[in-house]
Amino acid sequence: MMLKKHIKQYLLPAFYHAWRALFNTIYTYYIFKGGRNSGKSTFVSRAIILLMMMFPINTLVVRKVANTLSESVYEQLIDSIESLGVTDYWKRSKSPLGLMYNPRGNRIIFRGADDPVKLKSIKSHKFPIAILWIEEVSEFKNEDEVSTIVNSVI
């Protein structure tokens, strides 16, 4: 990885423990709670970029409504790429919406869950989808919708 600072300089102190847990795969699921400006989306997006640069994995990013992806989580991930100073290593795509780590070819895939059953067809032949980021879980009607997404990816 091409970062010039210690990893802690890229993360908010409130999330150091979460980074250690993510990096060491202590848990299978992580739920970050907090209001606006709590830093949770910034942390998650930076962690995804860092982990994908370290490991040969793909990420699936999901929101309830597909047309909200490009102006929310996609922009958040672009901001993280830029703030980490690794812009030259990432390729952006608006159609289809996606990001690719150029040195290895692993990708961040974006999907809406307007119909969670459609997520069952996502395949990744070269790198496993090891990270699933479900943004704004409160947008989903019930836990079954979220479970359908998780079970489709795992």
Catalytic residues: 136
- Alpha-carbon distance of 154 to 132, in angstroms, equals 9
Q: At 14, list the tokens.
A: 């409130």
**What percentage of the chain's residues is helix, strand, coil (to nearest 5)?**
45, 20, 40
Which of these, 152, 91, 94, 87, lies nearest to 122 by C-alpha position?
152
**Residue 52: closest CA among 115, 108, 118, 12:** 108
Q: 131 is written with which tokens? A: 């990270």
Query: What does the alpha-carbon distance between residue 57 and residue 119 come to, in Å, rounded to a whole number?
Result: 18
Phi, psi of 148 (to 5 degrees): -60, -45
